[in-house]
């Protein structure tokens, strides 16, 4: 559903699993930092709100949105996080660069989920202009960072549920 039809920060807190034992890595693009820091703030505060301990939230920077995939891979390979949130912002310009960056990071994040069997959450804004990005980074359409944090919590819980189920079935 398009964010113009749904506020990214609205959700039913009763549907969010306990996150007190979760560990989350967040990789943040430095490009469009005004937007990406607002996304990070939303994700961080939402994770805390749902019980993730401050010392179990790990933040790392990459230069741009294209590098989010490798930053997420570093988390997957060199840490013991339960999920990774990738936060970035690509604003349409006058060239096809926008298309290549968006396509590359989308495929990269999708591949990370499959390769590592680990929730890697796509928290990337792909907007036509800066105002649309502002509107989705804590503005009138909520904060994509909030949505990414809730998604991470729910996906970790789902993963854990499958692991618990498989241990019972064996």
Q: Are 123 and 85 in contact (CB under 8 A)?
A: yes
Positive or negative: CA dihedral 60, 120, 154, 143: positive
pLDDT in tens, the chain (170 residues): 565 667 888 889 999 999 999 999 999 999 999 999 999 999 999 999 999 999 999 999 999 999 999 999 999 999 999 999 999 999 997 778 888 999 999 999 999 999 999 999 999 999 999 999 999 999 999 999 999 999 999 999 999 999 887 776 55
Task: Write down the CATH superfamily of domain 22-169.
Answer: Lumazine/riboflavin synthase (3.40.50.960)
Q: What is the largest CA-CA distance in the chain?
A: 56
Cβ atoms of 80 and 23 closer than 8 Å: yes
Helix H or strand E segment including 87: strand 83-91
- The verdict on whether 50 is a catalytic residue reads no
Distance CA 135, CA 60 (A): 24
pTM for this one?
0.93
Catalytic position from the list 50, 97, 141, 159: 97
């Amino acid at each position: 559903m398009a964010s113009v039809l749904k506020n990214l920060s609205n959700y039913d807190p009763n549907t969010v699993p306990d996150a007190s034992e979760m560990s989350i890595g967040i990789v943040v693009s430095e490009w469009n930092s005004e937007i990406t820091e607002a996304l990070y703030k939303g994700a961080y505060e939402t994770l805390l709100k749902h019980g993730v301990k401050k010392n179990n939230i790990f933040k790392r920077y990459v230069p741009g949105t294209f590098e989010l995939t490798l930053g997420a891979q570093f988390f997957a390979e060199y840490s013991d996080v339960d999920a990774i949130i990738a936060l970035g912002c690509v604003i349409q310009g006058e060239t096809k660069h926008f298309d290549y960056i968006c396509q590359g990071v989308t495929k990269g994040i999708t591949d990370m989920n499959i390769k590592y069997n680990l929730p890697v959450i796509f928290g990337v804004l792909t907007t036509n202009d800066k105002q649309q990005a502002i509107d989705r980074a804590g503005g009138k359409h909520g904060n994509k960072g909030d949505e990414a944090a809730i998604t991470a919590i729910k996906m970790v819980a789902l993963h854990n549920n499958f692991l618990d189920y498989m241990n019972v079935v064996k």
